[in-house]
Amino acid sequence: MIIRVSVRGVISGAAALAIGALGTLAPTAAAVPQADPLPPQPVSADLSPLHRPGTHVRQHRGVPPLPGDVSALSWLVADARTGEVLAAHQAHRRLPPASTLKTLFAVTALPRLAGRTLHTVTEAELAGVGEGSSLVGVAPGNTYRVADLWRGVFLSSGNDAVHVLAEMNGGWRATARQMQSRARALGAHDTKVMSPDGYDTPGQVSSAYDLAVFGRAGLANPQFAQYAATVDAPFPGGTRSDGTPTWTYGIQSTNRLLTGAGGVGRYPGLIGVKNGYTSGAGNTLIAAARRGGRTLLVTVMNPQRGGGYEVYENARSLLDWGFAAAGLVEPVGSLAPPTPVRKAPQPGPEPVAQAAVLPENPGSGMPYALLGAVVGAACLAAVVIVRGRRGRSLR
């Protein structure tokens, strides 16, 4: 009887040893391979202080104070090359953009429409031009080079030229959709495009931040930069079928910081970009200037003091400050599109299943061989113990 109990205990112990060995061989959840941790999310414009209300600048000792005469509802100063925002006020406040929205139109449509292309204008293409719009004088029946139409957009802010180019680009609504998509791709999320020419339309808005993004993207295109810096040019009054003019008249940029017209002093080194005005938007301006190898970009939306030229004086003060402060202030944001965050690779079902269970083929791997050795050793130990105990009981 004693022998029977001891044998059962030994066999039970051997079984427990075998099961314990199996438990040590079966992978636990911690043994399943884990994906590498994600790197820290990159800092983007979306995470910058610019999304908070107020004025933002990081000044150090010796940096000139921000100009106190800027009354615009929203403004921004940035380095056009790096995209670093040096200072801003209400950068993401959504306001009507007026004709500064034409920069987004050009960024979107200019690469699609070659300057030497010829186009004969129809009455239908001009039918939708809004009442009171600025015009360059596009006439139905005339055949224009696309380059002439673009000069009409940049210099005269001609809504008639925008309408014709938009029709050539696939239509008015299609162009608005393209502009909206382009704005999102550039990281400009404050802009809602309803009318590609910037004409006051319910729901159409942009921001000082977005306009700076459009100006920077435009200046990266040599054609855009050339049109934006052009002070004056001839425009066809009549044309032949091959697009050559029968007579011309002069047009001049409406950007007074570029031309020095109307008593506004021309800003040294100015290279564009675009001004605008509507009764709903007030005066708006994107201005870029180059000095000492550095190009600065400022945007000004709706000054609250002074007359119609105050927008230029606001921009002048901000450019002066920017050139004095550049390299001495830490950026408060960036015009560059946010960097996409890398997603961790998702583990497939097959590797997880193989890591969680033992191979189904008992002869295909080491775990079963090792388990067999452990069980065999336990059984042999039980036999030896039983024989030893049986011998002791006979004596």
Return the DSSP state at 50. G
Q: Is 133 a catalytic residue?
A: no
Q: Is 157 a catalytic residue?
A: yes
- Of 74, 134, 156, 157, which is the active-site residue? 157
Q: Is 334 a catalytic residue?
A: no
Helix (H, G, I), strand (E, B) or coil at 331: coil
- Of 99, 195, 207, 317, which is the active-site residue? 99
Helix (H, G, I), strand (E, B) or coil at 300: strand
- Of 48, 102, 195, 207, which is the active-site residue? 102
CB 355 within 8 A of CB 27: yes
Helix (H, G, I), strand (E, B) or coil at 221: coil
Give alpha helix (H) positions in 140-252.
146-154, 159-168, 172-185, 208-219, 222-229
**How far, in Å, CA of 345 to CA of 353, rounded?**
17
**How far, in Å, CA of 162 to CA of 276, rounded?**
14
Neighbours of 265 (CB within 10 A): 11
Amino acid at 138: V
Residue matched to tokens 């719009």: 133
Return the DSSP state at 131. T
Residue 206 vs residues 35, 115, 235, 280: alpha-carbon distances, Å: 41, 28, 31, 13
Neighbours of 220 (CB within 10 A): 12
List phi, psi (to 5°) of 242. -90, 10
Catalytic residues: 99, 102, 157
